[in-house]
């Protein structure tokens, strides 16, 4: 199959991109890395009249520290998550997730903004953005706004982005020396989308958990915070009994649907196993 014919506009600024989208209305799509959009065009799952290329907009680039935040431009490529020293130092959870995203060729082009804007529930970065309590900077025809990650993911492939709005950057709180992270996923083959994945960031007070944020992916229509599990863990140390209690609490946070290849009960089981492993690792790191 081939994509339907479309026109192409290379935007040089955010304003140019927004104006081009406003002119074309529902028939336009922004293109960033193209690693999800181009296959969708080829399969005619999407057939826009115009593609607006945002790859040449300088304001969407760069990773920099802004006060207590690390600001990652929407065009930050997945591969840069592995090489950018600021990400390793201040957003190690994103760094830990990056090797699990697809394959090197896709990571060379795919962007953080594209991944979060698409909001595939099986993707690593949307869930980690949720775990980090990130803020998402958006530009649209009526100006700029900022949305908390907890308000951004609404339903399957549906986000707080209105049609014609552009994701500009993602800001994550700076990682601190009393924090620990853990990330892993279970997939049939390395590089495949996960059957279930999980990432967490904990703030420690000596051997106790003062605060913890846990997000799972591939467990429903949207990336999911494990708030019942978090409540079980806060104030405790990570001994075997507490980890078992956390695993038991996970059923209250997840309600995956049966799919053709993975029954819901199996997905919950895998999530519980993964959660136990990650909490065990978190407990070992001091």
Ligand X SMILES: Cc1cc2nc3c(=O)[nH]c(=O)nc-3n(C[C@H](O)[C@H](O)[C@H](O)COP(=O)(O)OP(=O)(O)OC[C@H]3O[C@@H](n4cnc5c(N)ncnc54)[C@H](O)[C@@H]3O)c2cc1C
Which residues lie near ligand X (CB under 6 A)? 29-37, 39, 54, 74, 101-102, 106, 110-111, 113-115, 117-118, 120, 123-125, 161, 166-167, 193
The angle at the Cα of 52, spanning 20 to 217, to the nearest 5 degrees, equals 120
User: Quick one: 30 or 90, whose CB is closer to ligand X?
Assistant: 30
Least Cβ distance, residue 54 to ligand X (angstroms): 6
Instruction: Output 59 or 133, the one with its CB closest to ligand X.
Output: 59
Identity of the residue, 106 or 160, whose beta carbon is nearer to ligand X in the bound complex = 106
Nearer to ligand X, 189 or 286 (CB): 189
Structure tokens at 155: 């339903």
Neighbours of 155 (CB within 10 A): 11
Strand segments (E) across 19-116? 28-31, 50-53, 63-66, 69-73
**Angle value at C-alpha 144, between 140 and 148, nearest 5 degrees:** 105
- Torsion, Cα 75 79 85 91, to 10 degrees, reads 70
In the complex, least distance from residue 51 CB atom to ligand X, rounded to whole angstroms = 8
Bridge-based pairing state of the strands 28-31 and 50-53: parallel
- Nearest approach, Cβ of 254 to ligand X (angstroms)? 20
- Considering the complex, what minimum distance in angstroms separates the CB of residue 263 from ligand X? 22
């Amino acid at each position: 199959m081939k994509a339907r014919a479309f026109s192409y506009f290379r935007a040089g600024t955010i304003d140019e991109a927004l104006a081009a989208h406003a002119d074309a209305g529902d028939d336009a799509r922004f293109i960033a890395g193209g690693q999800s959009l181009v296959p969708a065009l080829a399969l005619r799952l999407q057939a826009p009249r115009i593609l607006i290329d945002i790859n040449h907009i300088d304001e969407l680039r760069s990773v920099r520290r802004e006060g207590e935040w690390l600001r990652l431009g929407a065009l930050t490529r997945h591969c840069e998550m592995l090489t950018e020293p600021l990400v390793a130092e201040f957003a190690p959870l994103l760094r830990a997730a990056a090797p699990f995203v697809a394959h090197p060729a896709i990571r060379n082009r795919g962007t953080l903004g594209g991944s979060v804007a698409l909001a595939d529930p099986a993707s690593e970065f949307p869930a980690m953005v949720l775990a980090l309590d990130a803020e998402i900077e958006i530009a649209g025809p009526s100006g700029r706004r900022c949305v908390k990650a907890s308000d951004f993911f609404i339903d399957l492939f549906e986000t707080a982005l209105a049609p014609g709005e552009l994701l500009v950057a993602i800001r994550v709180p700076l990682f601190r020396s009393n924090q620990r992270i853990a990330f892993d996923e279970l997939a049939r083959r390395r590089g495949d989308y996960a059957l279930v994945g999980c990432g967490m960031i904990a703030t420690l007070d000596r051997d106790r958990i003062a605060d913890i944020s846990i997000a799972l992916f591939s467990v429903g229509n949207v990336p999911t915070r494990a708030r019942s599990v978090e409540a079980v863990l806060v104030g405790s140390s990570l001994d075997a009994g507490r980890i078992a209690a956390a695993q038991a609490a996970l059923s209250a946070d997840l309600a995956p649907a049966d799919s053709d290849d993975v029954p819901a009960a199996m997905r919950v089981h895998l999530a519980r196993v993964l959660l136990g492993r990650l909490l065990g690792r978190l407990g070992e790191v001091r």
